[in-house]
């Protein structure tokens, strides 16, 4: 399975794996799964750190490096993903969620997320 981690899932995987469902932990540790993170996720994390909604023990660039060293694929957010995120017929206005959905759609990935709004909209989700 090709999995794209939503922001909450990425943060839990790195900092608090017990928050993940047993199925989620199993999938993330499965040898036959490709785990990806949208580059836009790091943008969202940096914004949340900057406005005080999220605290990390190290800079966001350190998190990016940690993800790379763990062997996760970082999917670039190119102009097609930015444009598609604006075109999606979805009343949800969170730009980060729209970018994650557009990334999953473009790359044919299943989103692992705890976010019910994404799960209700995008059929290829797991939790």
39-50 vs 95-107: helix axis angle to the nearest 10? 170
Domain that residue 51 falls in:
2-126
- What integer pLDDT is reported at residue 13 of this predicted model? 94
pLDDT for 112-124, tens place per residue?
999 999 999 999 9
CATH code (residue 91) = 3.40.50.1010
Distance CA 48, CA 51 (A): 5
- What integer pLDDT is reported at residue 83 of this predicted model? 98
Distance CA 77, CA 74 (A): 9
Q: How confident is the model at residue 31 (pLDDT cuts 50, 70, 90)?
A: confident
Statement: residue 79 has pLDDT above 90: yes
Calculate the CA 27 to chain-centre distance: 15
**pTM of the predicted protein model:** 0.94
Kind and range of the H or E run holding 73: strand 73-75
- What integer pLDDT is reported at residue 120 of this predicted model? 95
Statement: residue 75 has pLDDT above 90: yes
Average pLDDT over residues 43-63: 96
How many domains does the structure of the chain reveal? 1
Residues 36 and 68: beta-carbon distance below 8 Å: no
pLDDT for 6-22, tens place per residue?
999 999 999 999 999 99
b/e map of 15-27 (b: 16 or more CB within 10 Å)?
eeeeebeeebeeb
As a whole-number percent, the residues of the chain with pLDDT over 90 amount to 95
- What integer pLDDT is reported at residue 49 of this predicted model? 97
Strand partners, 5: 37, 112
Statement: residue 29 has pLDDT above 90: no
């Amino acid at each position: 399975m090709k999995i794209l981690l939503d922001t909450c899932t990425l943060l839990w995987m790195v900092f608090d794996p017990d928050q993940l469902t047993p199925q989620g932990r199993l999938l993330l540790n499965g040898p036959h799964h490709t785990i990806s993170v949208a580059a836009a996720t790091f943008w969202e994390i940096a914004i949340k750190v900057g406005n005080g909604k999220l605290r990390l023990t190290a800079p966001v660039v350190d998190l990016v490096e940690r993800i790379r060293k763990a062997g996760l694929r970082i999917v670039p957010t190119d102009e097609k993903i930015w444009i598609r995120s604006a075109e999606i017929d979805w009343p949800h206005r969170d730009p980060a969620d729209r970018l994650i959905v557009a990334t999953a759609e473009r790359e044919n990935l299943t989103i692992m997320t705890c976010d019910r709004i994404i799960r209700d909209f995008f059929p290829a989700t797991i939790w």
